[in-house]
Structure 1
Amino acid sequence: MYKLSLLDKISIILVIIGALNWGLIGIANFNFVAQLTSILGEISSIVERIIYILVGLAGLNLAFLIYKSKNQRFS
């Protein structure tokens, strides 16, 4: 069985945050990440963009994790 690294665990958390944010956007037209970063003032758009990039990279990491775990199971 594949043991999850710290990066894998962080990726899972980020993907859950991203999924919940998309759910809120779809259901209530409310962007939680944008609201959360709006308290930062002028740099909020940069921080928001960084969060979206991190969520995207986390998704790629989880896709790679699934690939690794499938290959390990059958070898």
Structure 2
Amino acid sequence: MRADNRFRPEPHAGLYQLLEELNWIEDLLEDMAALGIYNRAEAEARMHQLNTMLDEQEGHGLAQQPDDGALRQ
């Protein structure tokens, strides 16, 4: 007897989105583990450290360039 696929319900599109999000989360957790980040506190501390470094770099760049607000006045 041959299987008839006409009556098989199609998976809901939301399930595919959920699967993609779960895969993204799994990849993120693997990346965090590779960096030695195993909990939320460590992740937040690392993000704060990175944001501070970026702010410092941007601050040095702004010192060399005129302020946008000064150009508008």
- Bin for the TM-score computed over the shorter chain: 0.3 to 0.5
Whichever of the two has the greater Rg, that structure is 2
Name the one with the larger helix percent: 1
TM-score (norm 1): 0.35
- Report 1 or 2 for greater relative contact order, CA contacts < 8 Å, sequence distance ≥ 6: 1
